[in-house]
Structure formats: structure tokens, C-alpha cells
Structure 1
Amino acid sequence: MTDLVFRSACELAGMICDRTLSATELLDAYLVQIAQHNPKLNAICTLDEDSARNRAKQADAALAKGENWGPLHGVPITLKDIFETAGLKTTAGYMPLKDYIPQQDATVVARLRAAGAIIMGKSNLAELGGDFQSTNSLFPQVNNPWNLNYTPGGSSGGSAAAVAAGLSALDFGNDIAGSVRQPAHFCGIYGLKPTDRRISTAGTIPEVPGLPVCLRQMMTVGILARSLQDLKLGFSLIAGADSRRPEVPPIPLNSPSEKSLQSLKLAWTEEWPEVPISAETQQILQGVLRKLTDAGIRMEEPASFDFSKMFELYGRMAAYVNKYAQPVNRHTIRHSVKLLWRTATQGDKELRRLGNFSRFLPELLNPSLKGYFETLTERDRFTAHIDSILEPWDAWLCPVAVTPAFTHRPSWTAIDVDGRAYPHGVANGAYTMPFNLSGHPAVVIPVGQTLEGLPVGLQIVGKRWREGDLFAIATQLDSIIGDRQTPQGF
């Protein structure tokens, strides 16, 4: 049954539909895998076994009567513990929410249930989704299935670890700075950050329940999976307009252009000059470049953007949208001061100028409506600039992070990269934050491993609202450079 839990969600759904496999049998296989491996990974923080068993039995009974609930009929999945689930604890790893049981599903959850998915439980994360590791005050830290001494990333680290280790067929997270893409890269799986406002965020945290909806920019719902086909399926089920979030437009998934590999025009950026990637990551990406060049694909360096200004704009934007998302109390103040102090004092001095979030204290302590609108206007200009950079290209290929997974460490401490100390946010967010700021969709595919056996991913950035093209291009590229493997021992 071990092989079964590593099959794609699409394949499993097909097996259940044609009744070569029952939903109950599949759930049992996942529960065995969870019982065996979750104690060392801490990927799943809340398991809802009884409800999942009842739902699996109902799924089998429905099929026996000729009823099909939808594309995920009877497939067990998990959800990052930021999605509100009616009747099931939702904590976001935040102590004041340790006993919070929502009365209503998040829009994404409701749509997945309507598609026939069985929600087994919730996956572990960084507290309130606020770190590039996955630690919080309620549950043990999440470990990377490739090496338990390493982080799976964050904030969707539990989601990525669960999918990589075969504890779940599919998982859904959120991404405001790379929280889906960096864990996918660290754990050797596929990840999607869609176009900004493509998927409703209704019923998601880090806005603590009862507070205003502040994260109306840059925050997206994302997907973690073991195949691009699963990403595409999951996206098709949850994207679209929602009366709970009127700003989500009713834009359908576009039909891909069906260009051949050789007719694609791809932009290639091996690294931002201001933030060099590790030598080992660079070596793997150079191997990817050779494979694509040998396949006859045209790639060139695209036009550039001012990285320093981008990072400053992202920081100001993040300060404004997060200002009122959490209550002001001793816990959040202590947490914020620690983050600001470490970004201001740790890491190479030149790089620290980029990642020093303490310079945004004016926006945090004395925000102004005028300042917020000025920042939004600058963001619009940046989005238009990235649109113009991408205009000649079908997609833009670039790294996901400066390094592969790193060893566990206190939150927001510096990371050594070939003898140079990188501030935590720069090492982990420099290659993902630009596309949260601009709102462009991006897919991560696994493309290789380091000598220590740690996965490395590649980020494929598409044009806004053109996820159909992005999936088609990523699928063609994956057939040449994709390298998803199963962690040893799982």
C-alpha cells in the first residue's frame, strides 16, 4: 500500500471512480502512513480520523448507487491550518486560537468538499503564517522528510512535508512571500501560487477571526502536490468569483496556446545580481539550462527591475496590509520585536540593507491613509513593469530561493551561504516576493538534488490571468527537467 499513497490525486480519483479502489481502502492506506511517519515529521497537527472514516464510507455508498460527488470523490486531502473548517479546530499555530472551532468553512474548503474530497485533517505551519520555517507555539516543529534535521520551509511546511512523504494526496496553503513555493522547493514537490485575487481567501487566517480583512493584496491561496496535473485540477476546483470576496473577478481558466517546445520563448534568470544563489543551487540550475538548450528551447535574459526598490516596496506594502490583521498584545509585540531586531542586526551588512524590516516601523507605528494609497500606486507601477518584462516571453524561469533546505534554527536568524551570512528574509524571499508584489502566477517544479540529497526546485512565472498557458508550459518543461523523487524511508 506504500506505493498507493504516492500516486497522484487524479489517478486515485480515477481508481475510486471506476471502483478498482474504495475510498475506505485509500483512507486506511493514508492513515497507516500517517501513524507510521507523522510522529517524526509533525506535518499534520490535527487529524480528524472519525469524520474522515464516515465520509469515506459515504463516498463508497454513493458510488454503489451510481452517484459521483465530483473530480475528487473519495480522495483524502489535508489543509494548512489557516483555513476555517466548520466543526474542526483551526488554530494557525497561534495560542489564542488553540480551541477555535469555526462555524463555517472557508470558501476553498467548501469547494473542495463539493468536489468530493475527504478532509483528513490540518497541516502544521509557521505561527500565523509568518516565517520561512514551520514552528509555532502550539505544535512541535515540522521536519523535512529528506532530512529531519532540516526545515521543510514555511509557512506551509507541514503541507509540503505531508505531500512529499505520502501522508496526503493533496494540500492547500497560502502564499504572501513564498509560503507555498519555498516549501515545495525544499521538499521536492510541485507548488502553485496563482494570480493575485484569482482564488478567494474568505475564511483564511492570518487575519485573526473578528478583525478586519486586511490582506487584500499579495496574499494568495496556493496548492502543493506530487504532479502538475494535480495542481491544475486543484486550481480548477477552487478558483473563481466568490460573493464573500467581491474583489475576486469571474475570469475563467484560459485555454493554452498549445505551442511546441521549440516555439516557446522563455526568459531565463539564473540569479539576481544583488542576491547570488548558492554555488550548489547554481550548478543544478546550469544543468537545467543545458538540458533545455539541448532540447532546442530558446532562452534569453529578460529586462531587469530595480531589486532594491522592489524589496523596499514589498516591505512597506507588507507593513500596511499586516498592521491590523492581528491584535496588539504582549505575544504579538514580542514576536514582532524579535523579527525586526534580527532582520536589522543579522547577516551581511550590504544584504541587510535589503532585508531590514525595522525601517518600516513608521508604517507599523503610525500608518497613514495617504501613505497606504501611495504604496498601492507604486505597486501598480511595479506590476505594469513586470507585465512589460514578460510581454515578449511565454514564461520566465528563475530560482525559488538562494539555498536548498537549511537546518532548523531560531526564527529569522541569518543563513550561511558559501561563507556569507544572508538575512533570513533575503535568503528565502528574494526570488518569490517580487511575484507576490506584482501578482503574477508561478509554478515550482523539482529539478534536481544536492550532494546531500536535498531537493532543488525551479520557479516558472507566467503572465497574469494566464494559468492555462503556465500549466501547459510547465508540463512540457517538466517532461525534460522534472525530477520528483520519493524521500528515502517513506
Structure 2
Amino acid sequence: MRGVSVEGEVMRGRPKKTWDEITVLDLGHFQGKSPSSEHRGVSALSHFQGKSPSSEHSGVSALSHVQGKSPSSEHRGVSALSHVQGKSPSSEHRGVSALSHVQGKSPSSEHRGVSALSHVQGKSPSSEHRGVSALSHVQGRKPSSVHRGTRHSKNFTKDSSHPGGKPSATGIRMALYFLRRVVTLVLRRFFWGREMLLGGAYPPLPPVEDSILLQSAQTLARWIRQGKVSAEAVVTAYVRRARAVNATVNAVVDDRFNEALEEARDVDRRLTALPEIERRQLEYTQPLLGVPFTCKEIVWVEGLSLTGGLVTRKCMKAPADAEVVARMRKAGGIPLCVTNIPELSMWIETSNSVYGRTNNPYDATRTPGGSSGGEAALLSCCATPLSVGTDIGGSIRLPSYCCGVFGHKPSSRLISTKNIGVYPEKLLNTRTSVVGPMTRSARDLAWALEVMAPEAAKDMRSRVASTDLRNIKIWSVGGRISLLGEWMRWLCGRGRFTFAMLLMATLQYLHKSNIDPRDSPHYWKPMQEAMLRIIREGSVLILPTLPQPPYYHYELIPNLHDACHCALFNATEMPSTAVPMGLTPSGLPMGLQVVAAPGQDHLCLAVAQALEDRFGGWVSPAPVRV
């Protein structure tokens, strides 16, 4: 079943699409005569204006905006976007990421490698760039831009070799690509075999049999205010569902189900006594009234578990609510439970020595991601309508991708981080660590932001609704421990920490630095400035959240570098929204992320809503029988 999140309707959409059917993200806006557009890859968005345009895209992400007559653009690689204006332009991009904007006369630009950013204006310019991503802005007429390989010289061509018998850049690139594919295949088979031998058996997810579970959070809030459904019925449905699915996903670590049911009954009694006019006002004063929500375990919920996944903190309880939880309670929300995390929320899978391992709802042998993996798994299973997560290096977006839901990492300091985590607040980096919402509906994200940050995110929904997507430029692309002693304990089967946490601690120990860690945000200032020269106001960057479908448990340990797709935007303090894009042929989620400049959260959310409208968004991992 495919989720659509239309208010008042069951989140049911078009029949499930496979990878081949959703090879392309096509959000085209066509104006003119006889347009033709062909897209290949995970994502392609085009806006064509003029006569007889033709665009072909191949790769993971391709977005083009073409204006003029008879343009032709071909993009190949992981990410390619072009904006071409003028006559008879031709652009070819190959590599991991290539973006070009061509306007003017006879420019020529070659970009090879993973990173190149150029802005060329004038006649007959030539620019060569090498690095992690290729972005070019060329102005002129009859432009030609070719992006190839990893390294090159001015005389290097596609099939040539360097003097002296040295291998060509293309050959090296292809060899490295082949090597990475072989290593990935070997590792995947190894971890698949490990799961088959040691993973254990888990019961399948029970079917969804209550239509309440399929509604968006906004719809539930409106129905409760209007008396179409009682708050008690809503909370009861989610309590039953959470208990039913937890045997499969192991997401809930501590709950307050009985207290939540009593609070829901209080809401119903209060609504019964209110006149109709005052009920309507609740939409603005208490928009979340009667709607249940859940939080990851390091988000303080008074009286619930606050171990941080550490054995040394077992049985610790939160003495108060986090500020974001207090705001949601004030808006009428009802907390249900807290969910599983990795130790200290510092890993990209969800497993610890206190509560065990959380599983992906689509395939129990796969990881739900981390560190908000418990929230993402519970949300995807229809066991909560709204989740509160945190993100310091992809901890909202990675689980959202792995579990096929929406998640938004807001701009730095948009939402209060007070009483988040188990470490002293003075050590909490409020620039890179943020709190954000996770939902099954893209439209619930802006609504939740208004509740979680009533001042900073005021009128977020109206800002999203007023965003004209045709005007957006889219680019693609505790105390000290003995480390040796803890390794010995782990080798003897009595470890207090997981292998992932010990590995990270060892790497940190080996990489000693005299730089004050409190200055760490400034390490990324040059990168942030470079990114902001490209992603300015009115622009978004679309790129994969992870380079492959959800991993087997522990497979991310040798693939830690894959998380850099997300961590980069924590360091540069940019908002980013994870968007599900359907399922692969094997039934696993796939998706992408939309990034904007700091303070431009509404652009991310507007594009996410457009993608949901076009492709359906969340798909239920369990059978639906309603």
C-alpha cells in the first residue's frame, strides 16, 4: 500500500511501484509545444519552456531546467543537473555529481572527479575542476561542457592514455568503481550469511486493520476536535499497534500507555464540555490536542527511560521533560513511549547492550538505521503518528531512508535542544546537533515544526504553501574508561559496550589533536561558505541519502563513510529533508534528501510535498486490511 496523506482520507495511493517504474523522479512543468523528456536514474526533475526540447538523464539524480529552442542535455553518473538557456547548447556530465548552468556564448568547461564548482561568464572560457562534486555555471552561446573521470590534462580525451604508458584517468576511475562494487558485493554476502546463521527468527508484522492508524497526524487532530473520533480511540489504536509490532522490530524500550489512555479520556471529557466556537479555536491554541507521539530514548520524557543505551546507566529515568516535549504537551500532544537508540546515539545503526537490536520493519535482517532507528521503525509500522528524533550526523535522515518515512533535520538552533541526551548540556554542540520531526506524511513535517518551535517556525505551513517550485534552482548532487580493558571484556563476551562504540572510541583515541573541540564548527566554515555560494536562497540540492538500499545489520561498520552523505549538512548547518521514493523490486525502501541554505527549511518541505504528491511517499511494510 502506498501512503498519500490526504486530509480526511486513508493514506492509500497508487499501486506499489518497483525500482524500474520509479527509476525517475519526474516533477516536470511543461510549457510550449512538443516537449520531450526522458529520465533515467533514481531522480529526475525537469522544467521545460520553449519548443521541441529534449533532455535525457541517466544516474541516481538528474534535474534540468531548460529554456529556449532545441536544447539537448545528457547527464550520466550519480547526480547531474543542468540549467541551460540559449540556442543549441550541448552538455554532457559524467561522474558522481555534475551540475551546470549555461548561459551566453561559446564557453567550454570540463569537470572531472567528484568535486568541481565553477562559475564562468564571458566568451570562450575554459575551466577545469577536480574534487567531490562538479557544479558549473557558464554563460555564453553554443556552450559545451564535458565531465569525465577522476584526473585529467588539457589534452586528455575519453579514450586516450597519458604519455609514458600511464593508465588513463577513465581507466583508473573504472578500476576503482569495479573494486568498490566487488568489495560491496563480498561484504553484503558476508553479512547476509551472518544474519542467516545468527540473526534468529522474527514473527512477521501483523496486518493493519484499523483505518485510524493510516491517517496523518493533522487529520487525527482535526477529527478529534470535530468529534468524529475520540482521543481515547486514537490512543488505544496506537497502543495496541505498538504492542503488536514490538516483537518484530524491538523499538519500544519504555512506555506510559496507561497514563496516555487516562490523558486521552481527559481530553474527551474536556471537548464534550466545550462549545463549538471554542473547539474551533483549539486548532490554533492546541493544534496537537489528543494526538499521541513518541520520542527516541535520549529525548527526556519525565519518568521514562534515560539510559543512553549504556549498561552503566541502566534503570535511569528522566527527571523532567525536554523543552520540545513540554511544548508538544502544551499543544495537547500525548507522549506514548520512548524508543531504542545506539549507545549515546552516536552510531548509524540501532543496537545497544541494554535493550538489544532494533530491526527494519521491511526486512528484519536489515538495519533500521540510526540513531533514531527505533522511532523510524515504529513510525513505519503505523505504531505512532508523529516521532521526535535528533540528528548530529544523519540520525533523522538515515533511519527515515531505511524505514521509508519522512524526516526533517531543521536549520541549526531552530528547535530547542534543552534536556536532550545524557551528557552535560555545555558539551552539546547546538550547531551540529538538532531536534526534528519524523512522519509518514510530508505535510505533517511543517505542522509539527510549528508546534516544536512556535516562534522560530511560525507560519511554516503558509511559507511552504506559497513556495513556487518553478522558481527554485535545483542542484543534485560517564567517567573515563580503560579502552584496552573494555576491548578485553568484549572479547571475553562480557563487554559493556558494542563493537561499533569501541571502534569509534579507538579511532578517536588514535586521531589525537591539539585543537580545542569546542572550535570544531569552525573547521567546516570554508566548506559552508563554498556550499552557500552554490545553494543560495531559492535553491535546493537533491542527492541520495545513502548509496544503496538498507544494509544488513552491522554492514555499516565497514561502510561508515557512506554516512557522509548526511553528516556534511550537519557540519554546514543546512536543513535537509529525507523523502521516501517507493520500494525496490525486493521490497526495500529507497529515497533521497533535499537540502537548502540555513533558514530555508520551507524550500526543503515544499519539494518534499511535491515529491510525495508525485510518487506517493510512504508504503506500508505490513499488509493493510481496512
Identity level (%): 27
State the match for 1:463 in structure 2.
597
Query: Structure 1's 170 and 256: CA in aligned 2 closer, same or farther, altered over 3 A?
Result: closer
8 Å contact from structure 1 (residues 200, 240) kept in 2: no
8 Å contact from structure 2 (residues 307, 422) kept in 1: no
State the match for 1:216 in structure 2.
430
How does 1:39-188 map onto structure 2 within 5 Å? Answer: 39-66=247-274, 68=282, 70-188=286-404
Using the alignment, how far apart are the partners of 2:451 and 2:362 within structure 1? 30
Using the alignment, how far apart are the partners of 2:238 and 2:349 within structure 1? 25
Task: Give secondary structure in 2 for the equivalent of 1:71.
Answer: coil
8 Å contact from structure 2 (residues 241, 383) kept in 1: yes
Amino acid at match of 1:407: Y
Amino acid at match of 1:118: I
Amino acid at match of 1:153: G
Pick the structure with more strand per residue: 2
Structure 1 position 362 matched with structure 2 position 512: yes
State the match for 2:561 in structure 1.
426
State the match for 1:439 in structure 2.
573
State the match for 1:404 in structure 2.
549
Query: Structure 1's 206 and 384: CA in aligned 2 closer, same or farther, altered over 3 A?
Result: farther
Amino acid at match of 1:461: V
Per-residue CA shift, 1:18-49, capped at 9, x if unaligned? 01100111111112212221111111111211
Per-residue CA shift, 1:123-181, capped at 9, x if unaligned? 11112101111101111311111011111111111100111001111111101110110
State the match for 1:475 in structure 2.
609
Using the alignment, how far apart are the partners of 1:197 and 1:233 within structure 2? 18
Q: CA RMSD in A?
A: 2.6
Per-residue CA shift, 1:348-391, capped at 9, x if unaligned? xxxxxxxx94586213xxx543x753x44332222222111102
Task: Give secondary structure in 2 for the equivalent of 1:443.
Answer: strand
Shift of 1:431: 0.7
Query: Structure 1's 372 and 93: CA in aligned 2 closer, same or farther, altered over 3 A?
Result: closer
Using the alignment, how far apart are the partners of 2:537 and 2:457 within structure 1? 23
Shift of 1:102: 2.5
Q: Which has the higher contact order (CA 8 A, sep 6+)?
A: 1
Shift of 1:10: 0.5
8 Å contact from structure 2 (residues 471, 538) kept in 1: no
8 Å contact from structure 1 (residues 341, 358) kept in 2: no
Structure 2: stretches of 5+ with no match in the other structure = 1-208, 488-495
8 Å contact from structure 1 (residues 253, 466) kept in 2: no
Amino acid at match of 2:315: D
Using the alignment, how far apart are the partners of 1:161 and 1:175 within structure 2? 16
Using the alignment, how far apart are the partners of 2:591 and 2:530 within structure 1? 26
Using the alignment, how far apart are the partners of 2:580 and 2:329 within structure 1? 29
Using the alignment, how far apart are the partners of 2:409 and 2:248 within structure 1? 28
Select 1:389's aligned residue among 534, 548, 552.
534
Using the alignment, how far apart are the partners of 2:388 and 2:615 within structure 1? 25
State the match for 2:55 in structure 1.
none
8 Å contact from structure 1 (residues 85, 106) kept in 2: yes
Structure 1: stretches of 5+ with no match in the other structure = 242-249, 270-325, 345-355, 415-423
8 Å contact from structure 2 (residues 406, 439) kept in 1: yes
8 Å contact from structure 2 (residues 412, 430) kept in 1: no
Shift of 1:342: 5.1
Per-residue CA shift, 1:286-312, capped at 9, x if unaligned? xxxxxxxxxxxxxxxxxxxxxxxxxxx
8 Å contact from structure 1 (residues 218, 437) kept in 2: yes
State the match for 1:329 in structure 2.
481
Structure 1 position 32 matched with structure 2 position 253: no
Select 2:446's aligned residue among 232, 238, 250.
232
How does 1:367-386 map onto structure 2 within 5 Å? Answer: 367-369=514-516, 372-373=518-519, 375-386=520-531
Task: Give secondary structure in 2 for the equivalent of 1:191.
Answer: strand
8 Å contact from structure 1 (residues 89, 100) kept in 2: yes
Task: Give secondary structure in 2 for the equivalent of 1:430.
Answer: helix
Amino acid at match of 1:141: R
Query: Structure 1's 360 and 436: CA in aligned 2 closer, same or farther, altered over 3 A?
Result: farther
> How many residues matched?
397
Query: Structure 1's 468 and 413: CA in aligned 2 closer, same or farther, altered over 3 A?
Result: closer
State the match for 2:212 in structure 1.
4
8 Å contact from structure 2 (residues 582, 619) kept in 1: no
**TM-score normalized by the length of structure 1:** 0.75
Amino acid at match of 2:447: L
Per-residue CA shift, 1:62-92, capped at 9, x if unaligned? 1112164611111111111111122223222
Query: Structure 1's 28 and 338: CA in aligned 2 closer, same or farther, altered over 3 A?
Result: closer
Query: Structure 1's 392 and 110: CA in aligned 2 closer, same or farther, altered over 3 A?
Result: closer
**TM-score normalized by the length of structure 2:** 0.59
Shift of 1:451: 1.8
Amino acid at match of 1:125: I
Pick the structure with more helix per residue: 1
Amino acid at match of 2:512: P
Using the alignment, how far apart are the partners of 1:372 and 1:23 within structure 2? 45
Shift of 1:253: 5.4
Shift of 1:56: 0.7
